[in-house]
Structure 1
Amino acid sequence: MIEGSAPLEAIALLDPVLQDAPEATGLRTLRAWAYFKSAQLRRAEADLHQLVEQSPTDVWARFALGRVLERQSRYAEALPHLRLAAVMSGDAEHEAGVLRVERRLAESSGSLDDLT
């Protein structure tokens, strides 16, 4: 449902359940992803911040938070989360995210020398 074309329907199903069980981390994770997929980035960010606070070593939540911040062009805020996810996981996609955001930060500052 979330990966397909129905993230809004997924959110509609998850919202009432999370009101009754706000500690349901798995459901909050699903809702954060549904928010991300439907471009409700501020809502995704709120859920992801909560997930990262509850479990600072949750690689998926860290990376997803970094991506949400990146999609909002908040590169300086995204970078620490993406770096942590890359270090914790060693995943090539996570490392690519770090490089992408570092490049965007350097481009926005007008200096590609900042990439070191």
Structure 2
Amino acid sequence: MLEDTVHDRWVRAQALFEERAYREAAVLLAELLDDPGDVVHELTDVRLLLARSLFHSAQLNGTIRVATELLEHDPNEPYAHLLVGRALQRQGRQDEAQPHLRLAELLGGYRS
């Protein structure tokens, strides 16, 4: 049997996201991050795609959690700020969303 490598799972998760199978992508990405044997848990790209997958599958609390964790490692990641801001907006938390949306625009040109 062929080994299912970290790279294989990453590529599969990206394909699932592109196919708009956001929940399935989120499950696979969460498994990648939770695997203690992999160095993947430190990678911004994996965390960002997980946060995007959670957002697109309307898992807003998960989006906020993952994007906030990403921001702890990389506070200048504009798309993470955008995801936090948009998730907070969708929860009706406009006042909390605004600083993140402003930072997203300043750091990366993303408009809310």
- TM-score, normalised to structure 1, is 0.73
Paired residues in the alignment total 93
Q: Cα deviations across residues 63-95 of structure 1 (Å, max 9, x unaligned)?
A: 111111111111000000111111223x3x51x
Map 1:1-116 → 2, pairs under 5 A: 1-20=16-35, 21-89=40-108, 91=109, 93-94=110-111, 97=112
**Rg larger for:** 1
Give the alignment's TM-score, normalised by structure 2.
0.75
What is the rounded CA distance, in whole Å, between the counterparts of 2:18 and 2:93 in structure 1? 25
Q: What amino acid is the match of 2:87? A: V
Aligned partner of 2:54: which letter? Y
For 1:9, the aligned partner's letter is E
How far is 1:12 from its partner?
A: 2.1
Superposition CA RMSD, Å? 1.4
Alpha-carbon separation, structure 2, partners of 1:5 and 1:56 = 28
Unaligned stretches of 5+ residues in structure 2: 1-15
Supply the AA of the counterpart residue of 1:14. Answer: L
